Every structure is written in C-alpha cells, then in structure tokens.
Structure 1
C-alpha cells in the first residue's frame, strides 16, 4: 500500500487527483490541509507519513506578481525544511509549468522551485520528479482563474457573452489525461528524462490544439442544442467529449428538472426523451414503492434519468462533498435530470404506485470497463 499525500489537495488538479486515487485499492491517501503550511509540526507529521508527495500547492494569480513569486518559493522551502526536520525522503512530484521558460515571476517561481527540489534530492539521495504541465481544462475549474475553458463555460451557461481577446491556437490537456500521467509517475510506469542522478523531468505535451474561437463555437452549440433543446452532441471525439463533460458541470443547478413536451390524443400520450448526435444506450426500469436504485457515480459517462410514471426523488452529491441535491419528479409532468460525472446519484420511488424511469447513457454497459463506482449519496 503506497501512502500518497497531495499539497493543494483542495485545488483544481489536486481535487481531481485525490478523488481518482481514492478509487485505487493500492493507494492510501494521506489527508492534507492548507493550514499545514502555517503549522510546522503538522507539515512535518504529514511529510513523515508519506511515501510520495505531490506538491501542487501554489499561487497562480495575484495583482502583485512579487507575492506570487515569494509565496511559491516559500512553499517549496517549507516542504524541504519539513522533510529535513524529520530526516525523510519521500518521492516528491512537483507541478511545474510551461511558463518556467518565460520572463515572468510566476514562471521564475516554478523554475527556481524545481531547482531547489533537485538540489534537495541530490543531497538527500531522494527521488524527485518535475512535471511541466500545459494548459489544463476540466470539470470544476474556477472561471477567470484556472482556464479560458472554465471562464467560457461559466459565462455561456449563465447567460453572459464571452469575449475572444486573442484568437490564438491553444495547446490543452484534459484533467483526466493529466491525472493519468501523475498516477503513472506515482506508480513508476512513467519515468521522464534525467535531470540528475536522483531527479527526472517529464515535459507533458498538450493533447489537443484548438483556436480560442473554435472552443467558443463548440460551447455555444452546447448551450443551444443541449441546454435549450435537450440534444446531446456527438461524443465520439475525445476532445469534444471532454469539453462537453466540462460544460455540463457549469449548468446551473436550477436548470433541472427540465419538463418534457407531452403530446396527448385519444390513443394516449407520446414523449420524446432525448435527441442525440451520438451513440448510446436507452433503457427503462420499474421500481416498487420505497425502493432506491443507483448509489453510484461515473467518471466519463453522460447519463439521463427520465421519470414518466409515478413519483421519484433523485439525489446527487459531488464526490468529496457533503451537500446533497434533491430533485422531486412526478410522472404527471414528465421530466428528466442529467447526472454530471463525479456525482454519486440515486433514484427512489416515493409514491404509492410503480415508478417507471427511462434511462439514456452515451455508451453501452461493458462489465469489463463499467465506469461505475458505488457510493451512497
């Protein structure tokens, strides 16, 4: 069992890495809190418990660039001091940036932080790996902070109009792709190139290259087709599936439940569940009163629950949080709720009659790669 700690665990990359590693039975996660950098004993206890430390804690933005530089250097110095105080040599992974070659104080803080850790590793004969990271996007990124994708997604889903200031081509990596590389380094299956006898460097190349205007066009189409008309886009291309899953996480909570249009004539009624530009699986279930189905989450699948008969409570909770979202649906007014990735979810029959629910998911069930993780809401 490898013991792994992540400084910056609550940040964008840190949260995704932590929640993904939590699914791995061979990893024991050592909790980290931001306050540890203000408590030398707590930080020393943390580093002495870890086999591997992923150092993600950093300041990315501040009105005074000197504060960014001073903060990031201080965090590295404190991490090294804690290791030396406890005489421990965990494998340290350092999140560097492609900006380290640029003439700015953020890039300088990353370059000098890396150099300090290389020197520590050489002196202590410890393992150190620097990962140079390109622009990252994915669910739960902070708008106006983590990426242009996060900013565009937030603005578009909240009725604002984004502005393209520089329509250049951007090299991007999706958060799931980045996390997979971090895990490979933690497990020793990804080595990088040597910086010294004890240090290596992995320069991560972008996986996707898109002009800013191309990204904006796709996101606007998601708003028109998906949010306004309930149409799922094509999800066959890796970038478009990643961008769509990112977009969905910014859809306001009160967007759901979305009511269907019910067409009624003497024969009965007809309700269109979903139009889709991609493949997938449609299914239905019947549930007797008082029974709950689900209590699982997905990391890549897009899924829709549609209640067409009976009364239901659909609950969602983002992994790593305690806030439960409740949606009450009644088949007399057919409606649906879509399940974001990384949200555990369930559906319960709260009525006195049989509940009929229709389901759509963007890929057929594969027991060898189910992408289904059980956790109670």
Structure 2
C-alpha cells in the first residue's frame, strides 16, 4: 500500500488557546457543508452490493460478516453461500471488522469511521468519524505538558485542518468493552467502554516517524502492532506502552497473526513473512512461495494458518506458520486479488477481494472454488 499524501503535515502550530478553540469548533460548530456526504449518507441497499469489492470478512459466532467499498456490509447464515445486506449509516469504504462474540462487533474505515453492531452485523451505528477524531486528538494535545507538547499540538491541528479524511486500517478488541482502532500516520485510539468513549492513544506508541499502523493482534499476554517500513511494536503492560521490536525487514507489514500457541507471523509486501516463537525477540524468514503482497490471514479451528495475497494466492501452513504451501488444484483464478479470509462454520474458507466474496472448499491437496 502506498504511503498517503501528507498534505499539510509540514506546517507548525503551537498555541494552546488556538488549538482548544479549533477543537471546540470541530466538535460543536461544523457546518453541514463541511461534513462529507459519505459520513451522513447511508450505504445504498442494492442487489449490486453482492458483487462489491470487499476488504474484510470475519466470523460472528456461526454467522459470517464482510465489509468493503461504499459502506457495504454483508452477512451470511449459511456458511457464505448466500448473503444479505446490512443497514449501515455511512457510505465510506470499510477496511476491517472484528467480532468478540456472536453479537458484538466493530468495523473501521476511511474518513475516521468506527461502526458498532450489537446484533451480529445486521444493523450498525456510528461511534466515531474523522471530525470527532480530530477533536479528541486536539483536546488531548492541549492538555499535554513537557517536551512533546508542541509537536503533539501541531499534529493535532493538522488533523483539524485536514478535515475528516483519517483512515483507520485495523482494529483489535479483546472483549466487548476493551479495544483499539488504528491507521494512517500512527493514528490510534482506545476504548474501555465498548466505544461509548474513546481516548487518543498514539502518545503511548514509540513511532517518531508517524509511520502507518496496518495491523494489531494479541497473544500470550502481549499486544503487537505492525506497520510500514518494517515497523513492529510490542506492549507487555496491557497496552499502556508500545516499544519497538528489532525487525529483520524494512518493507511494510500489512498484518499479524498471533496463534493460540503463542507464535507470531508478520506478513506484507512482495510475499514477505516472518515467524517468531519468542514474543518477537527473534524472527525467521518464511518461504511463502509468492512474490505477491500478502493482504490478509487467519487461524483456522484446527490451528492451520491461512494467508491470502493480492495475486490470488491461498497459502496454508500446518506447522504454525513456519512454512506455507500454495493450494492450487482447481482453486481460485490467479488474477483474483484477495484482501481477507475467514473460516465458515462448515470448515470452508470464505475469501474477500475486489470481485466480492467466494467460498473455497478445503481439501487435502487442493483448494477448490465453489
């Protein structure tokens, strides 16, 4: 994924009083003309949604839920064979979603959108957008003291000036109350009440270059972040602080898998993947057999790991991520770009990509498209 245009991020702003006024204006006095239509216009309910580009798919109990372009969210109660469209209050592209049980789930996307569902993905409400995010960051920066104050205030003012175009790229919830959303330029927020309130969290992350955060996962009592330019971070204090890990790779990591056994797999550009069995202290390169960028992954019920690529690869590992085998016999068309994968309750895979959603039947020696 290309680095986003920084726009006005080179400007400086250090006056606390002006910042507070700007935050108040954003939070309370935004005119209708300043709010992008996509933040107030519900996603169009149409049969064409079944063929929309989809960027995320996840399980909500036995149900599957997928999200993608123009606010499209679909759900399936028959293992991905048929899909229905959910009611969504925005029409921005949605990049990631997660459920903590069969009812409670969140989705994030462009223009700082955070959505919540309490009914397994059938209906959604907006918890955050880029306008509110800017106000929260500005308010937090205004209250800061010490050597980082001026920089934090300047960055916050840029968020206000730039408007609501603040994409979130991933999220992580470990319960129905506690979670994080993260994205471009180190943007990160935390909630401890299920999204009723949010706190800016980027000051807790050691990321002085403001690199994009692409993925987050937790295992073994630790939390991990992955981002561009080889950025990997770990928290061992329940998210209070994230420190950088030595990384063997300088390209972007687009995601993380943290297995139930405690292993880590970071994956990203040009088929690169790296494995760690010691909480990120050391890393071993994994031969994935592809040069296509790895866009999504999942751990299946039996512990098998699966990665999907922008070149249409479906890669399986049955040794906790140390090696992968491409499933090709009768499988997906090689030209189909894939973005995410989840397992249906009948054991099949469901992959999300630029041409919609497809079931992929698992087999011993091949993956077959249905």
Q: Give the TM-score taking structure 2 as reference length.
A: 0.27
| Structure (1 or 2) with the larger CA radius of gyration | 1
TM-score by length of 1: 0.27
